Amino acid sequence: MDNKPFVEAFQDVNTRLIDLVGTLSALRELSGFEVTDHDEERLLQGALQVVADNLELDSVGIFLQDEAERFELVACLGCDAAEKENADAAQAWMKQQARRTTEQFAQGIKGALIDNDEVSYIGLPIQASQQLLGVFVACHPHSGFFTVEHERSLIIFCNFLGQLLIKNRLLHDMEKMVTERTQQLQEALEEAEHLKERYATLSVIDELTELHNRRFFFPETQSALARAIRYDEPFCLLVLDADNFKSVNDRFGHGVGDNVLRAIAELLREEAREADIIARFGGEEFVLALPETDEDGGKVLAERIRLRIAGLEFRFAEKDFGITVSAGVAALQATHSRETRHALEELLHQADSAMYYSKGHGRNQVNRYSDIACKI
């Protein structure tokens, strides 16, 4: 019996088995790719290395289409000859074959474009969900090299590669979107924090004079007063009010009146110590809490402030004018409540009474509550 047909059949099956093993090995290696660790060019270059090693291909390349449908060679193996002219010629030839493959794909022709004339060539579309992503090109210097088995193996490879590309792009798009959203969220959080700080500041700052307001004054002053009571230290309050301020607004307008209040506020900041608490109580009334200051010290400061304010000059419509203030001083005494809230209310009432006494007795003066208490 002639064993030749059996030998040929065995050799054919053996060849097919080897090709199948090579294809499976290539797919197994591709499935192990961590797409998040590769940019697209590195991913495709690694895929080409896998198929070249497992299917014993010499020259392979992958072309991707840009938005203008131009072919760009993004990965290649074996087509970069030592001389640049040869490399350019090889790449130009592969690009031409890639274009032919794309035209065939556009015509609805399935499978590979195989040309086994002078140089063996095979081209396959890389697609996913009927979307053409690019073209895989392989060539061999010997005619008749590529077979149906090559076509089958490479179709599986290109389909797998198409899915790999889509997955890679989706992951990178998602990562980009997450980065952008994270940046937007961070900016929103920073803006919210800024607004929070701004609102918190506005809640305790008088917008016109940039001094603290009543909301800030009471808790801060109670805290300072509590220390004074606990350690038996001197403490006094100074209340001052601009004289005849309504006439300033009536004669020159509220804009000029605002400038006057800002000038008084700036002067108070200059005269106050770091530990002193200054607040605009509303309208043209200001309050200073003076830790470690007795009634005499409070009156000295109040007189200095009164004189400086009386020396301020303002001008409107070529007319000069000035402003004066009336002030009252009250100091912490043993007779005051030991409960800070009540003690503060008493001090405010006494300093306010002394200030109104100053207004009622000629304005532009300072009075201590202890001096006028028996008169009111």
- Tell me which residues are annotated as active site: 284
Backbone angles phi, psi at 59, to 5 degrees: -115, 120
Q: How far apart are CA 125 and CA 13, in angstroms?
A: 28
Q: Strand (E) positions, the chain?
A: 59-65, 71-77, 113-116, 120-128, 131-140, 235-242, 277-282, 285-291, 314-316, 319-321, 325-331, 366-368
Q: How far apart are CA 257 and CA 7, in angstroms?
A: 113
Instruction: Tell me if 21 sits within 8 A of 29, measured CB to CB.
Output: no
Q: How far apart are CA 154 and CA 161, in angstroms?
A: 10
Nearest 5°: CA angle at 89, between 85 and 93? Answer: 175
Q: How far apart are CA 342 and CA 325, in angstroms?
A: 27
Q: What is the CA radius of gyration of the chain?
A: 45
Q: How far apart are CA 290 and CA 166, in angstroms?
A: 72
The DSSP code sequence of 255-319 is HHHHHHHHHHHHHHHHHS-TT-EEEEEETTEEEEEEET--HHHHHHHHHHHHHHHHT--EEETTE
Backbone angles phi, psi at 234, to 5 degrees: -70, 155
Amino acid in the structure at residue 30: L
Q: How far apart are CA 262 and CA 287, in angstroms?
A: 15
List alpha helices for 80-147, DSSP H. 84-106
